[in-house]
Amino acid sequence: MIYHIEDAQKSLDKPFQLLFEKRELLARVVECFPYPIQVFSLDGTARMINKAALDMIGIKSMESHVGKYNVFMDPVVRELGVMDRVKQVLKGETVYIADFNAPYQDLIRYFNVEDRDIQSICSDITCFPIVNAEGKMEHFAAVFIIKKIYRGKEEISWGKQYIKCHWREPFNLGATAKAACLSKAQFTKLFKKHTGMTPHEYYINYKIIKLKEKLLDTNLSIAQAFAACNMDYNGHSAKLFREKVGVSPSVYRKMYIK
Q: Note the pLDDT tens digit of each residue in 29-74.
A: 667 778 899 999 999 999 989 989 998 888 988 899 999 999 999 9
Same domain for 133 and 55: yes
Instruction: Give pLDDT tens digits for 131-146.
Output: 877 888 989 999 999 9
Instruction: Report the pLDDT value the prediction gives residue 235, as an integer from 0 to 100.
Output: 77
Do both 135 and 208 map to the same domain?
A: no
| Of 15-24, 158-167, 239-248, the least confident | 15-24
Check whether 249 has a pLDDT greater than 90.
yes
Based on the fold, state whether residues 18 and 144 are members of the same structural domain: yes
The predicted pLDDT at position 5 comes to 43
DSSP-derived letter for residue 8 is: H
Number of Cα atoms under 13 Å in the Cβ half of residue 219: 1
Q: What is the mean pLDDT of residues 96-123?
A: 87
Could you tell me which of 181, 176, 177 has the C-alpha nearest to residue 166? 176
pLDDT of residue 186: 82
My answer on whether 61 and 175 are in the same domain is no
Are both 33 and 131 inside the same structural domain? yes
Mean pLDDT of 96-115: 89
Q: What is the mean pLDDT of residues 223-236?
A: 90
Cα distances (angstroms) measured from residue 42 to each of 70, 74, 98? 10, 15, 22
Q: Could you give the number of structural domains in the chain?
A: 2
Please tell me whether residues 173 and 100 are part of one structural domain.
Answer: no
Asked if 123 and 116 count as a contact pair (C-beta separation under 8 A), the reply is: no
Q: Please give the model's pTM, rounded to 2 decimal places.
A: 0.57
- 141, 36 Cβ separation under 8 angstroms: no
Range of the domain at 185: 153-256
Instruction: Please indicate, yes or no, whether residues 89 and 134 belong to a single structural domain of this protein.
Output: yes
